[in-house]
Each structure stands twice: as C-alpha cells, then as structure tokens.
Amino acid sequence: MLSPAWSAPGEGERLWFLGTLATIKVPGEATDGRFALIEFLFPRHASPPLHTHPQDESYLVLEGRLTIRAGDERFELDPGGAAVVPMGVPHTFRVDSETARVLVLSTPAGLERFVRDGSVPATAATLPPAETPRPSPDELERIFRAHGQVNLGPPLGPDD
C-alpha cells in the first residue's frame, strides 16, 4: 500500500536538465509508476526536438507562454492554460516569454527518470549557469533510446 506523498512550495528533487531547471515534485516511485509530476523552469526559446515517447505528457503553464506543436495541431498556452499530448503523438514546444514555469505530468511515470539520466543536481533554484555540464550528443542519444524517446525532427525555432 502506498503512502501519501507531497511536495511543499520550493521543495522537490532539483536538477539542471539541458539548460532548464527541473524539480521533480512527485516521483513515479511515490505513485507505483502511475504518474510523475515535474515543475520546469525554461528559458526563452527553449524547445526540444520534435519527438515521441511512451508516456502521455500534460502541461499546465504557471508562468510565461508556450507554443505547442502536437500532431497536426499548433496552439499557444498562457498562464492557467493546459494541454495533453497522448503517448506516441509527435510533439514539441517553444517558450515565447522570457522564462516559463510549467508543470508537466507524465502518465505513466517515466519522464522523470529520463530527466534524471540527462541532468546534474541543481545547486540553486535557478536556471543553470552556462558552464553546467551536459551529456554529449552520443550520451544524449543513448539516454533517449533507453527511455523510449524517438526524435523525429528539429525543435521549433524563434520564427517557426
């Protein structure tokens, strides 16, 4: 039987992940793998490659603005806006504000393990300094494969 789990404001496992701050608020271990909840702080124009993975990915924008491309759809989310991208649907997003704070729900859990494998512990609750280590392209490709992420195309550029 699982026990209740919670994360107070400012708490969680903080990681610097590919130029972002990821705070794992509820890890999959706390939910028997049913879901994981991650709060991200993204910088302007942050955008992952167009990709798929074996989890539904839901977004709730807390601060900032995102443009999301999912399948044939393209839409913008402002604070309070929410979206879900079902597993297997090609998607990406772009941060259109100076920064964006976004809650990401992984259903089932798994995205948090991907983030852990591609990150270093954050020493502050800020975006990472420029010199923060990142995985090499070969290491990143191995991490993608290990977690079922398939990259299908480029990220959204500032003018896309």
Q: What is the CATH number of the domain that holds 111?
A: 2.60.120.10
Residue 4 lies in a domain: no
Q: Strand, coil or helix: what is 143?
A: helix
DSSP, residue by residue, 6-25 = ---TT-SEEEEETTEEEEEE
Give CA–CA dist 67/77, Å, rounded: 6
Which stretches of the chain drop beneath a pLDDT of 50?
A: none
Residue 49 lies in a domain: yes
Q: Give the pLDDT confidence of 72-118 residue by residue, as tens digits.
A: 999 999 999 999 999 999 999 999 999 999 999 999 999 999 999 99
Residue 159 lies in a domain: no
Given this model, what pLDDT does residue 19 score?
Answer: 97
pTM of the model: 0.95
Residue 21 lies in a domain: yes
| Backbone Cα Rg of the chain | 15
Given this model, what pLDDT does residue 132 score?
Answer: 97
Per residue in 98-109, is it b (16+ CB within 10 Å) or e — as a string?
Answer: ebbbbbbbbbbb
List the domain range (segments joined by +) for residue 79: 13-124+133-153
Given this model, what pLDDT does residue 144 score?
Answer: 94
The three-point CA angle 150-136-51 to 5° equals 15
Given this model, what pLDDT does residue 1 score?
Answer: 76
Residue 56 lies in a domain: yes
Q: How many CB atoms lie within 10 A of CB 35?
A: 21
Number of folded domains that form the chain? 1
